Structure formats: structure tokens, C-alpha cells
Structure 1
Amino acid sequence: MTDDVTGVPRNPAIVELRARIRDHWDEFTPAARSVCRSLSESTPERLLYLSAQELGVASKTSNATVIRTLQALGYAGLAELKDLVAAPFKTGLREERLRSRIESTGGDPKHVWDKVITESLERIEFLNAHMSMDSFKEAVRLMLEAREITTYGFGANYVAAEHLTLKLRRLGRRSRCIQTAGFRLADDLMSIEREDVVIVIAPGRLIIDAEVVIDRARSVGAGIILLSEQAVAERLAGDVTVAIHVPNTVTGITAEVLTIIVTTDALAQAVAAADTEHTLESAHTLETLRQQLGFE
């Protein structure tokens, strides 16, 4: 029995993958069986960094055959399989993951570019396939009715929170981004009111500060929109008003905030489209102020 995180027997997603392959083997074409062999022979660590095109080359088929085979196995695509395989790695050593990421890109600039683009597309496609429109629409409704929209994100996700706040302000929506942590955070939490909406961005995990932000919003009756991975979203489903699943990446090849930025852009655009006159009036005011400041 292999004990390290990369060992096949220790990765439940690989065990499940092999079970699905056995169940569907008789109904598969030779090409699909070739894809299955390549999938089942890959270690979890290697599978995380493979693209559909690379799997197509390895199995002497095509990336389209790879995707069709994965869908026949019950996966939305390669990104969903990677997301399941990645679970044990999320507590792995940072140095080991960094080494794997560097080795997977090979050092060639063109190969690095292709890797980043491929993973970006995979993550966005995965986001699209798993987005609940009911949750998305409810989040937009909450934002439209809010007295003030407060955004919160820690680490790299602060960038996404600040980005969303800026966009909402330009749309004429009262919004602020919490920029404090620890002792000073309490001062910012004091101003959250019942008519507000708090957007918490925490893709992979929750720190104590984020949990306190959610607790404070819940205690005053404010709406809470959580942008997070499936496991965190499911665990906090009863503590927030709306939970939106945004897939993270364990590889580090693309930025953690990639799918968060896409989601927040979509939320802001939906808010803008819901009240065209208010949006246009705000745009006119913004342009007038810029001209007064000397910007044409």
C-alpha cells in the first residue's frame, strides 16, 4: 500500500476512475479503451498536469476522443476529474507542488504558455458547467436590493474583492472592500447592517477572520454571498444566503483568483444590465468627474 499522496491506492478519485472504467469497458470503442488505459496508468500527480491534447497524444487518439470518453465515464470533462484527484494534494507540501509545477512546464516558453492557456480554459469550462443559475440569479437580486455591498477576500483574493468593489462603485452601487485583518477587522465589521450584502471570497479554505465576517453578517441579518470551492460551499450552505461554486487549482499553473474574477465580472455585469438607466447615469457622472480632473 502506497502511503504518499501521489500513490494511486491512496487517491480515492483514481480508485473511482478505475472502477468506472471497468464498468464501461465492454461498451467502449478501441479508441476509448486506449484513452482509459492512459488515464488509469497515470499517477494522480501526473494527471493533474496533463491536458486533453497530451492525453490524446499518449493514447494515440485525439483530445476530442479524450473528452468524449471522460463524459461517457460520467465526468463533465478533464477539469472535473482533476478537481477530484486534487483533493489529497491540497494539504501536501508546498515545495513538492512547486517542483511538480516547474517540471510539468518543461521550461520551454511555448510549452509554459500552452500549459497556462489550457488550464485557464479548463477551469473556466468547469466553472461554466457547474454554475447554478438559480444561485447566480439570487446573488444578483441580493446585490440589487442591498443598501451597501461589502466585499471580503484574504490573500490573493483581496485583489478580486477590491476589483469587484471598484466595478460596483462605477455602476453607481454603494460598495466597500474590507481591507483590514485581525484586531482592526472588528472596526469594519461594526458597520455591516441588516439591509447590506456581504460577499465573502474564499476559494479553497476559510481562515478565522473569514468565519467571523460571516458570523457578523449573519448575526445582523445581512445577506451573505459565498464564492468558494464545492466542499467549503456545501459545509457553509446553512450559514450563508447563497453559495456559488468556483473551482480552484492545486497545480498553481494559473492564478487562484482566475475563476473568481470571471464570476465577479459576471455578477457586476448582471447588476449593470438589470438597471440600465441607473448604470448609464452613473457612467455619465463618472465621465464628468474624470473630465473635471483633466482626463479626457
Structure 2
Amino acid sequence: MDESRDGSANGVAAASSADVIADLRARIRERWEGFSPAARAVSRSLTERTAEELLFLSAADLGAETKTSNATVIRTVQALGYSGLAELKAKIAAPFTQANRPVVRARKRVESTGGDLASVWHQVLAESMDRLELMQPTFSLETYQHAVQLLLDAKHTLTYGFGASFVAADHLALVLRRVGLRVTALEAGGFRLADDLLAIGPGDAVVLFAPGRSVIEVDVLVDRARDVGAATVLVTEDPGSKLARAVTVTLHSPTTPTGLTGEPLTSIVVGDVLAQGVATLAAERSVEASEQLTALRRRLGF
């Protein structure tokens, strides 16, 4: 991207983020009279930050700065109409991640730590907790139960992760085998993916870790599953996307707005939740699989 285009993209990102900040300040003005002194202190600190500063700010940082607490920060942000600080940061981050080049985002990520390893530790842990927190408001017990039942009923389960999400897909295949399911992790992409898609058949279930945007490999996989009568469970950061409407069940996996934490973090958690759900509803099969696994490990000397 040349400098003129880069500058234009950054201008769009700044304008879009400014809209989010303007909305934040409007919410604060509307609720100011009803806020406690502690909530006002948090709100004042929020309004004094730039969009980029807010991206790398944790609830602990705000609590220390305003001499309140993490809980006060979270309650204040929720009183402003957000599910938590993570949702506010995600709204601010969207235009930056769409418009800024990866190298620009990487530089900002490094600069946010101030060159201090203790700060790195703190920020990565804080963002991890923020992302997990963001999963809670979108959780639906009915949807979760549906996804688990699809796996229990499937003749064969296949997992696929686009890009870095292959880590989550491979992990899910491993833990589902350990609770007694027949599972295959699809690894290929491009031309070779067509061969793997032949393995999807009627009565199967496909667990797909993918972004909300259109990706040819993902689109073809979903089409193949639908054509042969297989169910699809989509794990994505955008449960309202067009792709989400084309699958059987969608589960939310928030991505990182800053890049401080790995993309598959929340997807791995969703996978663990699915596997434990299978183990809970098919306890005898899970125990039998565990016994067989233990026996095989002993034969291998472990």
C-alpha cells in the first residue's frame, strides 16, 4: 500500500473510531447525574483517553488510575450499555484492524508495552480475561446444547480451522477422540482441500473455526456439508455474518482487537466446552474411551 492510500485508510479508521468515542461520551453525559463519585471518576478517565490508548487499557489500569477497583470499572462500563470493557474495545478496534496494515498494528502493539516485560505480562493476561469476559453475554444454553447434540448424533465429526484457527480445530479433534467420538481434523487448503471434503458424508458433523468474512475454502466446505446432509457448527467472531446464517449452529469466539493474545485463544475454550459437554452427556462412552486410552499409553510405556 502506498503512503497516500495508507494515509487515507488511517483517516477512515480515525473517523470511525471517533464515532465510537463520540458515542461513548454521549452515553456518559446521559448517565452522569445518576453516577456515583467512583463511576464518575471512571467515566472521566475514559473520556480523557484517545481511541488507541483505550485499546490497550485494562480494567485493572483504570481501577488503579481512578483509585477505584476492577469491579467498579466493569460496573460503570456496563452501566454505559456495553457488556464489558472488551466490547467497548472491540468497537473501537474494528476500523483500526480493517484499515491499518499489519506492520502498523504490530508496531503499535509493541509500543503499547513501553518496553517493559512486566507490562507485557500484565497486558496479555488482561486481554485474555477481557476476551473471555466478552463471550459470556452472547452465550446461549439452547445453542450450546444443540451443538453438543449434533456431535453426539454424528456418525463422524470433522474439524477445520482457517489459518491460525487450525490450532483450535486440531485441539478439538484430539479432545473429542478422548471422550469417545470418531473425529478427523482436516488439514489441507487450496487444491488439496477438495480431496478432504470427499470425507464429509450424510449424518456427519463439521465443526468449523473461521472468520465471519467470505473465504473460498470455508464457503466450499459449508456448501459441501449442506449438499451431502452433514450438520455444521461454526465457531466465529461474527455470529451475525452471512456465513453464520448458512450453517446449522453458530458459537461466538471473540478475536483480539490488539494482537496481544493469540487468535485461537477463545476458539480453544469453545472447543473445550463442546468436548466437556459431550463427555457429560455420554459419560459411559467417555469413561470407556479414557480406559482404552490409558491402556494404550501403558503398552507404549507411559
What's the TM-score, normalizing by structure 2?
A: 0.91
Pick from 241, 246, 259: which aligns with 1:252? Answer: 259
Distance, in Å, in 1 between the alignment partners of 2:208 and 2:173 is: 12
Q: Aligned in 2, Cα 1:67/1:120: closer, same or farther, shift over 3 Å?
A: same
Task: Give ranges in structure 1 of 5+ residues lacking alignment.
Answer: none
| Greater RCO, CA 8 A, separation 6+ | 2
Aligned to 2:227: 219
Aligned to 1:192: 200
For residue 26 of structure 1, give the secondary structure of its aligned residue in structure 2. Answer: helix
Code of the residue aligned with 1:48 in structure 2: it is L
Q: State whether structure 2 residue 265 is matched by structure 1 residue 262.
A: no
Distance, in Å, in 2 between the alignment partners of 1:97 and 1:131 is: 30
Aligned to 2:51: 44
Distance, in Å, in 1 between the alignment partners of 2:58 and 2:121 is: 13
Q: State whether structure 2 residue 129 is matched by structure 1 residue 121.
A: yes
Aligned-pair distance for 1:6? 5.6
Q: State whether structure 2 residue 281 is matched by structure 1 residue 274.
A: yes
Question: Deviations along 1:238-277, whole A, 9 cap, x unmatched?
Answer: 3100011111002111111111111101100110111111
Question: Deviations along 1:152-195, whole A, 9 cap, x unmatched?
Answer: 00221111101111111122211101111111111111121120
Aligned to 1:159: 167
Distance, in Å, in 2 between the alignment partners of 1:237 and 1:204 is: 7
Task: Give ranges in structure 2 of 5+ residues lacking alignment.
Answer: 1-7
Give the number of equivalent residue pairs.
293
Task: Indicate if the aligned counterparts of 1:150 and 1:198 stay in contact, CA closer than 8 A.
Answer: yes
Aligned to 2:176: 168
Task: Indicate if the aligned counterparts of 1:203 and 1:246 stay in contact, CA closer than 8 A.
Answer: no
Which 4+ residue blocks in structure 1 deviate beyond 6 angstroms? none
Distance, in Å, in 1 between the alignment partners of 2:60 and 2:83 is: 16
Q: State whether structure 2 residue 217 is matched by structure 1 residue 209.
A: yes
Percent identity over the alignment is: 51
Bigger mean CA offset, 35-44 vs 277-286: 35-44
For residue 151 of structure 2, give the secondary structure of its aligned residue in structure 1. Answer: helix
Pick from 38, 41, 50: which aligns with 1:31? Answer: 38
For residue 31 of structure 1, give the secondary structure of its aligned residue in structure 2. Answer: helix
Code of the residue aligned with 2:284 in structure 1: it is E
Pick from 72, 75, 85: which aligns with 1:68? Answer: 75
Task: Indicate if the aligned counterparts of 2:12 and 2:95 stay in contact, CA closer than 8 A.
Answer: yes
For residue 207 of structure 2, give the secondary structure of its aligned residue in structure 1. Answer: strand
For residue 200 of structure 2, give the secondary structure of its aligned residue in structure 1. Answer: coil
Pick from 223, 237, 244: which aligns with 1:237? Answer: 244
Distance, in Å, in 2 between the alignment partners of 1:199 and 1:279 is: 19
Distance, in Å, in 1 between the alignment partners of 2:113 and 2:263 is: 18
Q: State whether structure 2 residue 147 is matched by structure 1 residue 139.
A: yes
Distance, in Å, in 2 between the alignment partners of 1:290 and 1:9 is: 55
Bigger mean CA offset, 55-64 vs 147-156: 55-64
For residue 199 of structure 1, give the secondary structure of its aligned residue in structure 2. Answer: strand
Question: Deviations along 1:60-98, whole A, 9 cap, x unmatched?
Answer: 433322212111111121111111111112212111111
What's the TM-score, normalizing by structure 1?
A: 0.93
For residue 7 of structure 1, give the secondary structure of its aligned residue in structure 2. Answer: helix
Aligned to 2:115: 107
Distance, in Å, in 1 between the alignment partners of 2:118 and 2:24 is: 31
Distance, in Å, in 2 between the alignment partners of 1:233 and 1:165 is: 26
For residue 206 of structure 2, give the secondary structure of its aligned residue in structure 1. Answer: strand
